[in-house]
Amino acid sequence: MSEALLVKVGGSLRGAEALLDELSGYPGPLVLVHGGGPEIGALLERLGFQSRFVEGLRVTPEEQLEAVEMALYLTGKRLAEGLSRRGRKAVALSGRDALCLRGQALPGLGRVGEVVGVEAGLLLDLLAGGYTPLLAPIALDEAGPLNVNADTAAGAVAGALRWPAVFLTDVEGVLEDPQDPRTRLPRLTPEGVEALKARGVVRGGMLPKVAAALRALAAGAPWAAIAKGERGVLGRVLSGEAGTRFTPGEAPEKPA
């Protein structure tokens, strides 16, 4: 059987037909964590709110949380429908369902948090029943829901499942020059990431993604990868032809 994968689908890939075809056609078990940054931004703007980001995280005042959840849940339902229509029966949930994501608030960002506990039983039961679970990145603390960066949530879930994490986004992987897709770094180690960050090469939305890839490794995922969400990507990530793969050991860092 094909390898079980935790796949994070970025909001920047919403509705991409090729991606839905790719995910629905993957022969192995999948658990999906989805984002929705662009959808959240658009809804907040329609409601008259302007978002501010700190190191890639959306500052989320209490009064904006409801809109964040609404945008995320609609994104999840659309993805679940798209996959289900293609024959892969999918169910869209969030960390509020069966209390499966426990969170902790991060200081100074409003109702934003990180994941400190994953109860994977619901996900495994759905898989055993033939359903593909899709999780929106909302976790719970004692005070209620927290907006969690979707990459962070995906890394935590991959670690808990001890499955590889594949972060699908709109770029080929981590790029030495973010403007040039030919500069993809095929492999990175935690030490290599530190060097890139020190040089300012990894910025914006790539920061939580890289941090989540490393956290997934630290939490028990055998490997993690960042790759472009297009047709054929999962097979090419598994064979090492696409994306940036993060491994705990030593690895050379050279542009592709």
Ligand X SMILES: Nc1ncnc2c1ncn2[C@@H]1O[C@H](COP(=O)(O)OP(=O)(O)O)[C@@H](O)[C@H]1O
181 or 252, CB closer to ligand X? 181
Give the tokens for residue 76. Answer: 């999840």
Check: CB of residue 17 under 8 Å from CB of residue 44: no
Verify binding: residue 150, ligand X2W, rule CB under 6 A.
Answer: yes
Q: In whole angstroms, how far apart are CA 249 and each of 166, 189, 218, 245, 246? A: 18, 6, 12, 11, 9
30-34: strand order across its sheet: 90-94, 132-136, 30-34, 5-9, 165-169, 224-228, 244-246, 187-188
Asked if 186 interacts with ligand X (CB under 6 A), we say no
Q: Rule CB under 6 A: say whether 76 interacts with ligand X2W.
A: no
Q: Is 204 annotated as a binding residue?
A: no
Per-residue string for binding with ligand X, 25-64, x by CB under 6 A? ----------x-x---------------------------
Would you state the structure tokens that stand for residue 121, as one six-digit string?
Answer: 């039983």
**Binding site partner of 110, from ligand X2W, ligand X, none, Cβ cut-off 5-8 A by kind:** none
Nearer to ligand X2W, 205 or 229 (CB): 205
Applying CB under 6 A, among 90, 101, 112, 115 the residue interacting with ligand X2W is: 112
| Maximum separation of any 2 CA atoms in the chain, in Å | 49
Q: Is 40 in the site for ligand X2W (CB under 6 A)?
A: yes
Residue 172 and residue 107 in contact, taking contact as beta carbons nearer than 8 Å: no
Chain positions contacting ligand X2W, by CB under 6 A: 10-12, 35-37, 40, 57-58, 68, 112, 137, 147-150, 205
